[in-house]
Structure 1
């Protein structure tokens, strides 16, 4: 398994919630910017927490980028293989909070349920959110969630 379900008690605690939009840029050259590079560098020596949908979200964004010609399948495969080197933990409580908590956040901020899952996790765990998604950033600011600064 690439990602443990949750951080074992002997490891360092996560320092931020990682949105799929950041990781997807690592495989799409024209979207890879200073911020996403810095998040990657921070994750290389730290620990992050993410939602249960995160693997699907990353894969979906990368598949769409391949289909649009923004990246290649070999580049995506290399990125996905390399993810096993990061300490990234999947939240195992999020699926049990979809209704009403996550759904309420989606309604309140006019965002998708998937985006609301990242927002709910950051709120619940009280961690900053690493994202380059403009809609999620807007919702996070409105919900008083700090945007992660690497």
Structure 2
């Protein structure tokens, strides 16, 4: 693995679904999570393209469990649509080689490894509530934002 790249976008970050969906559920969001949302007033959140499907899955599962209504989902998606979120469309080489190598090295799912790979490639800090992903990020020298 290569060391994290130098970032030129002060304030930008890689955002994972565990943190972005915390904004939807009052019992999951911390002050630090809200601070990251506020940070996006002047910064860009970078996400792998799978973030779209992961977000949708979290929301539909929460709706099936009666934890959220369809109206609340529409409202939350409106919030997300208004944020400066840049979707990274990594190519096959990145996905099948770099991401899988990180998944193997850190015993992560390939989904979680996609966030780590993006943070490494862009040289940006990671915002995640996932403990295994946080541990892997620390091991790879990726800065973590308080969540």
TM-score (structure 1 length as normaliser): 0.83
Which 5+ residue runs of structure 1 have no aligned equivalent?
A: 1-11
Residue in 1 aligned with 2:20? 23
Give the match's secondary structure for 2:67.
coil
Which 5+ residue runs of structure 2 have no aligned equivalent?
A: 1-8
Give the match's secondary structure for 1:89.
strand
Is 2:76 aligned against 1:102? no
Output aligned runs, 1:106-145, within 5 Å.
106-145=103-142
Give the drift of 1:95. 4.7
* Aligned counterpart in structure 2 of residue 39 of structure 1, from 23, 36, 41: 36
TM-score (structure 2 length as normaliser): 0.85
Q: Which whole-Å deviations, capped at 9, do the CAs of 1:3-59 have from their partners, x for residues lacking one?
A: xxxxxxxxx777111111111111112111112111111113321211011111111
Give the drift of 1:140. 1.0
Give the match's secondary structure for 1:76.
helix
- Residues matched between the structures, number: 139
Which deviates more, 18-27 or 110-119? Answer: 18-27
Name which structure has the greater RCO, CA cutoff 8 Å, separation 6+. 2
Give the drift of 1:80. 0.5
Q: Which whole-Å deviations, capped at 9, do the CAs of 1:96-144 have from their partners, x for residues lacking one?
A: 4112110010011001001000000101111100111112112111221
